[in-house]
Every structure is written in C-alpha cells, then in structure tokens.
Structure 1
Amino acid sequence: MSEQRADVIGLGMIGGGVAVSLARRGRVPVVYDIRPDAADHLAGVPAPLASPAEVARASDVVLVAVVDADQARTVLSGEQGLLSGARPGLVVVLLSTVAVPVVRELAETCAKAGVELLDCGVTPGDKAAENGLVAILGGAESTVERATPVLADFAKRVVHCGPLGAGMATKIARNVITYGTWRAVHEASTLAEAAGVDPAKLLTVIDAADPEGATLLSWQRMRLAGKPETRAMVPQVERLLDKDLAAAQDLAGRVGVAVPLVDVARKHGKETLEIRVREDA
C-alpha cells in the first residue's frame, strides 16, 4: 500500500462512504465535517478534526465531497480553510458535482497556494462505502498518477477522461443520461397508463426484453465504432424511428398526454442516428 495520507472533507453519503472504503483498505483517513458527530456511525473512521486546515496539514491527497460550489469555495478558502494549512504539492480531489467553469476557478485558487486540483465526478453514490464507485477524472496526467493509489482504494474503476474539467464534463453528461432516461420512462409510463395499461406491465416488458439495459447504449456504441455497414442501416432505422414516434404522438394526442421528449426525439431523429465512418473502420 502507498504511504500517501489520504483524507476526506465532507462526510455525507459519498464522502462518508469514501472514508469507510479507505479505512477498510488500511488507509485510515483524517476527516472533517461541520457536524462533530458525522463519523460516529462510519466504520473505522475517526472523529472529525476541528477545521479543513488541520486536515490539510496531515494530508498528501484530500478528497473534498461537499454539496455545491459555494461549500467547495468555503472549504478551500474560508476561515481555517484547507489552503491555509496546505503545503506545496498537496493534491485536492474534488468529488462534488459543479459546473466546469467552477472547476477551473477552484484550480486557479489552489494553484496560487502550490496545490494541484483534480476534478473527480463519482457514480453511483450509494456504492461509496463498498469500494464500488467509478472515479471520473480530469486533470494533468502526472497528478492523476500520483493520486491513483488513493483513488483505487475507494473506486472500482478510475477513468482519466482528459485535462482539467474533462472529468466533470463526463459526470455531467452521465447525469443527463440518468435524468433524461427518467423523463423518457415517465412519459412512456404516463402514456401507457392513459391508454388503460398498468404501468407495472410496461416495466415487466422492459425487464423481460432488455434485462441488462443494453438497448440504451446500443446505437451510441455503433456510432462510435463508425463502421460503414452501420451507416448503411441509417435510412431503415430512421424510417422505423419516425414511424414509431409518430405512433406515440398519435396515441398521446388521443389520450391527452403531453410527450415533449417524444416530440424532440422525432424532430431530431436524423441527428440522433448520424454515423461518421472512421477512416480505419
């Protein structure tokens, strides 16, 4: 195990789970939370220190898992903030989901103190205490390499997506899929129910037909592969897409259900199905 000292600020669902995973791997973290009793029910995690500055003094890598941008700014630069106790070379790994410009702002603030920042979206949050997160990294390759032993102690997979901001952009895009899918399921279920179908029957059909959810990403995988034979399929698939979504719009009109996602999906069907053939395909 690396001798790096890895510590955690923010002991909510994600930060608390990360701290438990680190402790289970023998990398017992120093922690901070505004709640003095935040670690009471976290296995192997000691009581919080008095300030982020104290955490920084004991750390090589600090994992910041707060709720939003304002909390991240306070943790870094507030009274007894992390940077007031940091030494040059400290790595801050931001686990919070914030806008990409905020990542760059926080990185500039850290750089003034000789501290390096990585943006690290994580998912799924409820698996943090089970070493079950995927860590989605943005930042310099050398900094990622330094932090990877710590990341591997709480994440089942570490994916370096590119330079600063790339990890956060990837996490944001992943969230679009999550919430967009929720909306699609909402529209479909509402449509089925308005047509006299028990929505639970729709779930039964989906579970039976596509239990692993492979259909959700199937076309995007084909797009990324960029094979000529896939592009040849586009006209037929486009006809099917347009026909099927037209039927959905017709049903929605008959039962009085608004389906804005269906409307957008049909309108932009050609764009959705576009295939760019790779030269090496």
Structure 2
Amino acid sequence: MDIGFCGPGLMGAPMIRHLLRAGHIVWVWNRTREKAQALVADGARVVDTPHDLCAHAQVVFLCVSDTQAVEDVVFGSGGLLGEDRGETNAGTVRWIVDHSSIAPAATREYAARVARHGIGWVDAPVSGGVPGAQAGTLAVMAGGAAQDIAQLEPVIRAYAARVTHMGEAGAGQMTKLCNQAIVCATVAGIAEAVGLAQAAGIDAARLPQALAGGWADSVLLQTFVPRMTERGHAPLGSLRTFQKDIDTVADAARGAGAVMPVVGAVQQVLRLGAAMGLSDADLAAFIDIVRPQPNATARAITTPRQAPRA
C-alpha cells in the first residue's frame, strides 16, 4: 500500500521504519523537513506539503503534537484537504488515521468534515511510548467505522501488537484519556515514593527490586524509578505532553460529569513543573517537582532531564 505519514518524531519515525520493513511505500511530510529527510536512507519518500500526499497515498497517518496541529495538517493551507484554499481534491486518499492524542470532540468534528469528501477517519491514539514504537508492540485504541478499522488493521499491525475497536469516532481518543489519567497519576505517585525513600535515607534505586511481584509493581515502576534515580537515559517524551493530555482529561471529565480529584491534583503538579521551567524536561522530571530536598528546584532548573521536541 502507498502510505502517507505526517509527523516523524520520537514516535512517528520508528513507526515509519516498521511500515517500510513491512513492504509499504511511505511518503513522509514533517514541518521540520530534516526529520523527514532523515528517513530517506530507510526508503521513505519526502514531500513538500501534506497536500502532496493526495497524489500518492491511499491512507494518511498523523502523529503530530496536538489538536491544532491536526487541524492545520488536514485543513490548513497546504493541508491534505486545504479547505481554506479550496483544495478539496483528496486524490487517492481513502482514510486518515490519527495517532495523535487530541480532544474527542475535535475528533468527531474532523471525522464529519472529511466524510463529506468520502474519506474515513480513524482516531487511533497509541500507548507504549517510544520503546513500544521501536519494538513494534504499541497498543492502539481505535474509534471509527468497524469496516475501516478492519481494513486498516493489517497495516497498523506493522508497529502494533494490539488494535482494539472502542466505538465510533472519538472513542479511541476518550480511551487514550483514560490511559493517560492512569499513567500520569501513577508516574506522579512513583515520584512521590522515590522522594520519600530519598528523604528517609533509603536507596530509592532498589525500589523496583524490593517491590517486584507485589501489588505496587508495574511496567511504569520498573521504567521510571531508574530514570528518576540515575542520569543519562534517553528521553521518552516531555512533561509538556503530559500536561497537554491531563488538561484534556480534565476538560473531558467536566463534559462527561466524571469526578476525578486525583487528575486534578496531578494537573496542579504539572503546572508547578511548568512554572519551574521543566515543560521540556523528560517525563521522569516529576521527581524534580516533588522531591523534598532544599536544592531540588535549583538543580532541576539548571540540569533538567531534557527531551527533544517532536
């Protein structure tokens, strides 16, 4: 299949490589052209604008930063449909698959807009982080028409271990918000536990070993305690992404009438991190926000765990 892909960042680049290894032709666009150009050696073909993908691709995958970025890529000037310039010719494109994490309400709106051009929209946010993207073991939670997802699942399986159809458009994004509520609250809890251990004079680096197999054990515990107690780990993402997602969770909770006091507390922790200058720091920088040490703030600001922007 000829595939278009917008957004070869930390997550998108390894996903594209899996698609290429599976034998697909992949046409790539990114706002920063150098990130797309870096995949040429793997066999990717670079285009100048998202709209250029309409001449080649049957399906276009999006893996961009936020709701506004999705709207710009699909509907903006030079976008896939370029509605503001009257470029409504979708060419060969039959589906748009959005792997970004955006608001469910926006997803439903976008799905209705592209449907007028005969295009199916699948919201398909992922879980598993950069390691899952690299290993090809991502979990995909999908919203959209069942027949669209059935046709696209064999393609998505190039980088995903599981694809679960959760309902109509927007259901995938709502499921991702549930995922992010659990992940953000858990990582914040792990940071507090590491901070408590350090304040009490316990070697926090031994927590994963001590808690392995117990109720507190998890992939997140085993992943983040080493990152919170050691330097030098490759970044998994930025606190800015967590803040964006948890703000979206809070908005969705208000709309649905759901009570989420823990999410509210985590939201305030992330806002504190932003005020400390840690928005672009790695996800493990939760420890730099909550660690009860007098010089923690200064150290966090001067030597944060930096994560590159996608």
Do the two structures share a fold, i.e. TM-score over 0.5?
Answer: yes
Counterpart code for 1:76: V
CA distance in 1, matches of 2:157, 2:206: 41
Deviation at 1:137, TM superposition (A): 0.6
Following superposition, the deviation at residue 192 of structure 1 comes to 3.1
Q: Which residue is equivalent to 2:73?
A: 75
Aligned with 1:134 (options 130, 133, 139): 139
2:18 to 18, 21, 29: 21
Of 12, 15, 26, which aligns to 2:9?
12
Deviation of residue 88 (structure 1)?
Answer: 7.8
**Structure-2 separation of matches of 1:124 and 1:45:** 25
Residue 159 of structure 1 corresponds to 164
State yes or no: 1:170 paired with 2:179: no
Match of 1:191 in 2: 196
Which residue among 33, 36, 40 is the counterpart of 1:36?
A: 33
* SS in structure 2 of the partner of residue 38 of structure 1: helix
Cα deviation, residue 47, structure 1: 3.9
Confirm or deny that 1:121 pairs with 2:122: no
Q: 2:107 — aligned with what?
A: 103
Structure 1 residue 124, shift from structure 2 partner: 1.6
Q: Give 1:207's aligned residue.
A: 212
Q: What is the letter of the counterpart of residue 116 of structure 1?
A: G
Q: Which runs of 5+ in 1 are unaligned?
A: 217-256, 258-281
Of the three residues 44, 47, 55, the one matched with 1:46 is: 44
> Structure 1 segments of 4 or more deviating over 6 A?
none
TM-superposed CA distance for 1:79, in Å, is 1.3
Distance 1:18 1:102 in 2: 24
Is the CA contact (8 Å cut-off) linking 2:57 and 2:92 kept in structure 1?
no
Note if contact 1:87-1:115 (Cα within 8 Å) is conserved in structure 2: no
CA distance in 2, matches of 1:65, 1:187: 31
Q: Which protein is bigger by CA-based radius of gyration? A: 1
Question: What SS does the corresponding residue of 2:36 show, helix, strand or coil?
Answer: coil
Aligned-pair identity in percent equals 29
Report the aligned-residue RMSD: 2.4
Distance 1:89 1:48, change over 3 A: closer
Quick check: 1:61 aligned with 2:59? Answer: yes
The alignment of Structure 1 onto Structure 2 pairs a total of residues equal to: 213
1:89: how far off?
Answer: 6.5
After superposition, what is the alpha-carbon deviation per residue over 1:61-109, rounded to whole angstroms, capped at 9, x for unaligned?
1101111111111111111210234148610000100111111121122
Distance in 2 (CA, whole Å) between partners of 1:93 and 1:51 is: 17
Provide structure 2 residue ranges, at least 5 long, that are not aligned to the other structure. 82-86, 222-291, 293-310
Q: Distance in 2 between matches of 1:11 and 1:174?
A: 23
Q: Partner amino acid for 2:22?
A: R
2:107 is paired with a residue whose SS is helix
How many angstroms does 1:143 deviate by? 1.2
Structure 1 residues 162 and 181: alpha-carbon distance in aligned structure 2, compared to 1, 3 A threshold: same
Q: SS state of the match for residue 194, structure 2?
A: helix
> Which residue identity lines up with residue 29 of structure 2 in the other structure?
Y
TM-score of the two chains, using structure 2 as the length reference: 0.63
Residues 69 and 204 (structure 1), Cα distance of their counterparts in 2 relative to 1, 3 Å cut: same
- Aligned counterpart, 1:236: none
> Shift of the alpha carbon at 1:212?
6.1
1:6–1:59 CA contact under 8 A, matched in 2? yes
Distance 1:194 1:130, change over 3 A: closer
- For residues 191-232 of structure 1, what are the alpha-carbon distances to aligned partners after superposition, in whole Å with 9 as ceiling and x for unaligned? 333334332343331136469639x9xxxxxxxxxxxxxxxx
- Matched residue of 2:211: which SS? helix
Partners in 1 of 2:46 and 2:93 — Cα distance?
23
Question: What is the TM-score normalised by the length of structure 1?
Answer: 0.69
- Indicate the SS of the match to 1:172: helix
The residue number in structure 2 matching 1:146 is 151
Measure the CA separation in 2 of the matches of 1:80 and 1:201.
Answer: 52
Match of 1:233 in 2: none
Superposition deviation, residue 28 in structure 1: 2.2
Deviation for aligned residue 1:56? 2.1
Name the aligned partner's letter for residue 63 of structure 2. Answer: A
